Amino acid sequence: MENLQSIDQFEELKKGERTIFVFSADWCGDCRFIDPIMPTIEENYSQYSFVKIDRDDFIDLCVELDVFGIPSFVAFDKGNEVGRFVSKDRKTQEEIEAFIDALAL
């Protein structure tokens, strides 16, 4: 999974098709819990681009997008937000896949 490097990169990526931003942090235990399953999810949903955003590096972006819990997922398509799975709760592979399946893309 690609790591976000700048706000400019975020603005460009969200204009693309089927991009899911994964908000995370190194110190977040629930984020580390999903790390081993993310490659499988990325493989199963290869029509999407997944981009990891370190919450600590991009706190202003998190505030702008109302992402106050991690791990969280926000999906964009052609510049429009098309779905979000945002909370501070631990997420399972099944919950993440259900979120992606529910995206109307």
Smallest CA-to-CA distance from 38 within 28, 50, 26 is with: 50
Q: Which domain holds residue 33?
A: 2-102
In this prediction the pTM is 0.94
pLDDT tens digits, 65-104: 999 999 999 999 999 999 999 988 889 999 999 999 999 6
* 11: phi then psi, degrees, rounded to nearest 5: -60, -40
Helix and strand totals (H; E) in the chain? 5, 5
Task: Indicate the average pLDDT of the chain.
Answer: 95
Alpha carbon distances (Å) from 100 to 21, 29, 39, 59, 66: 12, 22, 14, 24, 19
**Could you confirm whether 62 is annotated as catalytic?**
no
* 10: phi then psi, degrees, rounded to nearest 5: -60, -45
CATH number at residue 51: 3.40.30.10
Among 22, 31, 53, 62, the one annotated catalytic: 31
Would you say residue 105 has pLDDT above 70?
no
Q: Which residues pair with 83 in a beta bridge?
A: 75
Among 28, 34, 53, 70, the one annotated catalytic: 28
Overall domain count for the chain: 1
How many angstroms separate the CA atoms of 28 and 13, rounded?
25
Give the pLDDT score at 88.
82
Alpha carbon distances (Å) from 88 to 27, 56, 66, 74: 13, 15, 12, 14
